[in-house]
Amino acid sequence: MAEYSRIATGSFTSTGAAKAIYLPFAPSSVKVWNYSSFATPAQNGVPEGYWNSGMGQGYAVINAFDATPVLTTDVITSNGISTFDAGLSFQYGAQIAISGITKAAAGVVTTGSAHGYSTGDVVMFQGLYQSSTTGMPQICGMPFVITVTGATTFTIPWNTNQSNYTALSGSPSGAYVKKVLYPFLYAPGVSFITAITTGSTTTIDTTAPHNMVVGQEVAFHIPTSWGTIQLNENNNTVIPSSPVYGYVVSVTDSNTVVVNINSTGYTAFDSDQTVAAVKAGLSFPQMVAVGDVNTGGVAISAGSPLYPSPSVNGVSTINGPAIQGSFVNNTRQGFIIGAGLGATLTSAALIGANGNVLYWEAMYPDYS
C-alpha cells in the first residue's frame, strides 16, 4: 500500500434495493460481506462479493449458497457494483412514462411501469399536458422530493387540486418523470417554493430539501404572478440600494424553514398558475442562500473529527476542512451496490434481502 492510497469502510442494513455509498473518492475496488448471510446460510444467500474496475461497471463476482445450501461461485453482469462521480450540473436517470396524476393536496403520480424509486428521491417532470391547453405543465422543471406509496405510485409536495390544474389520465403523450441522480451538488443551493405562510415571521415550504441551518441568510426571487413579491430582497431604507435579507430562525423539517421577516399584510402566495403562463415562459419562486459565512464554520471539539467537512442531508461532502458559506460544494463520489442477480443462481442478489446487515470496504490505491 502506497502513501496516498484511500480506503474506506462501513456498514448498513439492506432494504433489498440498490444502495449508494458516498465517499471522498470513487474507488477502484470494493468488497462486500453480508453478515446475515454468513450467520444463517440459506439458498440464494450471498455472503460476500467483490468488484474491481477492470471488470467494468455493474459487474461483480460473488460467493453464494445453492439449494443444498452449499457455497458456490457466480457472477453478476448487470446492476452489480458501479462507481459514480457527479458532475457540476444535474444528471438524470431514465425517463419513465406517466400514466396519470391526481388532483390532490399532495398530487399522486402513477407511472406506466415500476419506477424503482425510494422515498426521499428527487425527481423532475416534463410534458404533463392532458391536451394542448390543459394538464399540469406548471410543475415541470422543478425538483420534487417524493414519498413512494407503491411500485408504480408516489406523491409530491405540491397542491395539484387547484382550478388551473387538470388531472392527467390515460398515459398522455410526452408526459415523463426522471430521477435527479445527484440533486444536491451545492448546498444549501436554490430552493423552489411550494407555499408561504405570512405573519410576524414567514414560513417557507419547499419542493425538495432546502439544506438550510439556523442563522442562514436568505433572499427571495418571486415572480409577480406568484404573489408575496414584497419578500424580494426589500430595499434597505437606511442604506440606499442595499437589500434587506432574512435569516432562518428555525428549521421545522427538511422542507420547511421559518424566516425572521415580518410579512403581515403581504400578498398571499399563489401556486395556482395557468397553463397559458407556461407557454408564455413561466418562471418559478425561489429562496436562495446569500452571504459568505452563515454558520461560523464547522466546530472542532472534543470527540469530533480533527478535520470535519461540511455535510449535506447528513452525508459528508468531499470537501476538506471548510467554513460553511452560502454555497458548499457537494459534488458526490462513491459507489453503488445494485440489486442485480447472479447469472447462474438467478435469485441471488449481492445487496441481500430486506433487513440483512452488510459490511463493505472500498479502496483507491495511488498506483495503477
Q: Residue 342 sits in which domain range?
A: 6-86+333-364
Given strand 122-126, what is the order of strands in its sheet?
Answer: 144-145, 122-126, 176-179, 96-101, 108-111, 153-155, 147-150
Cell of 192: 423552489
Q: For residues 257 and 211, what is the distance between their CA atoms, to the nearest angstrom?
A: 10
Q: What is the pLDDT along the chain (368 residues), one digit of tens a residue?
A: 456 788 999 999 999 988 989 887 889 999 999 999 999 999 999 999 999 999 999 999 999 999 999 999 999 999 999 998 876 667 888 899 999 999 999 999 999 999 999 899 999 999 999 999 999 999 999 999 999 999 999 999 999 999 999 999 999 999 999 999 878 777 777 899 999 999 999 999 999 999 888 888 889 999 999 999 999 876 666 666 667 788 899 999 999 999 999 999 999 999 999 999 998 899 999 998 886 544 444 555 666 555 566 666 666 666 655 545 566 767 778 899 999 999 999 999 999 999 999 999 999 987 65
Note whether residue 319 is domain-resident: no
Q: Is the peptide bond before 69 cis (omega within 30 degrees of 0)?
A: yes
Exposure string of 294-322, with b = 16+ CB inside 10 Å and e = fewer, is beeebeeeeeeeeebbbbbeeeebbbeee
Q: Is residue 301 part of a domain?
A: no
Of 179, 206, 226, the one marking the end of a domain is 179
> Are 162 and 224 in a shared domain?
no
Does residue 308 sit within a domain? no
- Report yes or no on 355 lying in a domain: yes
Contact 187, 296 (CB under 8 A): no
DSSP state letters, 67-130: SS--EEEEEEEEEEEEEEE--SS--B---EEEEEE--SSSPEEEESS-----TT-EEEEE--BS
Domain count for the chain: 3
Q: Give the pLDDT score at 1.
A: 47
Is the residue at 304 inside a domain? no
- Residue linked to cell 439449494: 67
At residue 237, the pLDDT reads: 62
Pairing relationship of beta strands 29-34 and 144-145 according to DSSP bridges: unpaired
Domain end among 115, 149, 179:
179
Rg (CA), the chain: 24
Which CA distances in Å does 132 have to 141, 171, 172, 282? Answer: 18, 15, 11, 16
**How much is the pLDDT for 86?**
73
CATH at 242: 2.40.30.180
Same domain, 225 and 133: no
Structure confidence at residue 314 (pLDDT): 66
> What H or E segment, with its residue span, contains residue 37?
helix 35-39
152 and 207 co-located in one domain: no
- 191 and 104, same domain (yes or no): no
Residue 41 is predicted with a pLDDT of 95
Is residue 300 domain-resident? no
Of the candidates 13, 273, 266, 27, which has an alpha carbon nearest to the alpha carbon of residue 128?
Answer: 273
Q: Do 172 and 197 have their domain in common?
A: no
pLDDT for res 24: 77
- The pLDDT score that the predictor gives to residue 261 is 94
* pLDDT value, residue 333: 83
Do 140 and 198 form a contact (C-beta atoms < 8 A)? Answer: no
Residues 213 and 241 placed together within one structural domain of the fold: yes
**Greatest extent of the chain over all pairs of C-alpha atoms, in Å:** 81
Domain stops at, among 179, 211, 230: 179
62 and 116 both lie in a single domain? no
